[in-house]
Amino acid sequence: MIWQPLLLTARLKELGVDDLPLFYMNSEDLFARAVELMPGGVNSPVRAFRAVGGTPRFIKSANGAKITDIDGRTYIDYVGSWGPMILGHADAEVVTALAQAATRGTSFGAPNELEVEIAEEIIDAVPSVEMVRMVNSGTEATMSAIRLARGVTGRNKLVKFEGCYHGHGDSLLVKAGSGVATLGLPDSPGVPSSLAESTIIAPFNDPDALEQAFNQHGDIAAVIIEPVVGNMGCVPPQKGYLNAVRELTSRNGALLIFDEVMTGFRVARGGAQELYGVLPDITTLGKIIGGGLPVGAYGANRDLMGHIAPAGPIYQAGTLSGNPLSMTAGLITLKRLRDQSVYKRLEHATAKLCHGLSAAAAEAGINTVTNRVGSMWTSFFNREPVTGWTTANKSDCRLFGRFFHAMLDQGVYLAPSQFEAGFVSLAHDDEIIDRTVTAARKAFKNLGETGKG
């Protein structure tokens, strides 16, 4: 079927009308305009489909477990705005509350009651957090957490793990995951060598390598880690690994930062630290705590947070921090997540999805390894267990790209990168999961019949 907007677009172009109204434009038209206006045509690199090929879909609307592009095609969505949409898109309660909040003002630049309420909600849920500071993004949260760690310890060096992504702060774009891994970029130009040199890299899930790093460097301020990696695909910690990281960090007088921007309120209400029973010194949060609006936060015990201005000398500020719209959407979302049955439903749906995907791949003779923690998951086109960047990087990204487009053709929208986690929401019911697995069975069968290379 040829969509009427496409026919109109083609006809208008034949007539020499290049400045098309948005109503008549399709994704290809918009992307052609976008590449002239924005780097790569996008405002975040992975969206550009560079890793899978083709034209990115421009989304017009979203509801529940589905998104609809401007061409009129609807997809089951497993990106979920990269994690925040745990309730599903356009949740009625959130949308209604946002509409009401907007009439009272979108930003005050002054304290408001909602900031206090969401701080109470975060502190109640996250075991290691006694005080919290709201910011505007996950990147801002991790940058601020590292500044706090350096300011308190008087040390400069930072340990991060290969393939983990903590935002685009200068100290963090060394051996980073996410879009850096997806696009195959080297350590980013523009990062001063002095900052790169102060960042020490260790492999994930290898406690001996971390111990060696401490033996070689006596001035490490902090270790920052995704307790469940989501930015080289979903990679869980092996048994006892987080405990070892905690013990090594404490023994050497450094602070442990859990980047729970992705895992916070996702793998459990209290995040990965609740799930695994390991408490960091500093926690960073984002995504879900804003209910789909821009947000970030970092928190720790009272003593550490007492060093942050204006209570202490370590400066950090933000014009839109704690704005009433993000606080409104986040507060409603976090209150809904108090119900522990939510996590049982997410566990059921995601386990069913991952089992179905693995079975469908095996039936077609396609090698995959599916990792999952709670409602985070990734199917790696790989022959061996994926436990870190070395094994993740052995995945067949070309075959993943073909699978991605086969699923897209059948109305399933996956992350356009082998190295990004997928997410399940409360809107992904059994019927949605069954439709996804049926689509995957067809896609895998097609890959097997047409050749895997």
Contact, 413 vs 406, CB < 8 A? no
Other beta carbons within 10 Å of 66? 19
Q: Kind of pairing, strands 59-63 and 66-69?
A: antiparallel
CA dihedral angle for residue 384, residue 388, residue 390, residue 391, rounded to 10 degrees: 10
Sheet bearing 412-413, strands edge to edge = 59-63, 66-69, 74-77, 412-413
Annotated active-site residue 259? The verdict is yes
Give the active site residue among 259, 276, 343, 413. 259
Q: How many Å apart are CA 93 and CA 98, to the nearest integer?
A: 9
Catalytic residue chosen out of the listed positions 160, 287, 298, 343: 287
Q: Which helix (H) or strand (E) holds 401?
A: helix 397-409
Stated length of the chain: 453
Residues whose CB is less than 8 angstroms from the CB of residue 433 and which lie 6 or more positions away in sequence, other chains included: 349, 352, 353, 356
Q: Is 165 marked active-site?
A: yes
Rounded Cα distance between 56 and 41, Å, is 9
Token pair 């992904």 is at which residue?
Answer: 428
Going by the DSSP 8-state scheme, the letter that residue 97 receives in this structure is: H
Who's near 93: CB < 8 A, 6+ residues apart? 332, 336
- The closest alpha carbon to 296, from 273, 316, 321, belongs to 321
By C-alpha distance, which of 314, 346, 110 is closest to 221?
314
Q: Compute the distance between CA of residue 303 and CA of residue 131 in angstroms, rounded to an integer.
A: 9
Q: What is the rounded (10 degree) CA torsion for 127, 262, 137, 205?
A: 90
**Per-residue three-class SS string for 107-133:** CCCCCCHHHHHHHHHHHHHCCCCCEEE
Choose the catalytic residue: 165, 241, 343, 413: 165
Which residues carry out catalysis? 165, 259, 287
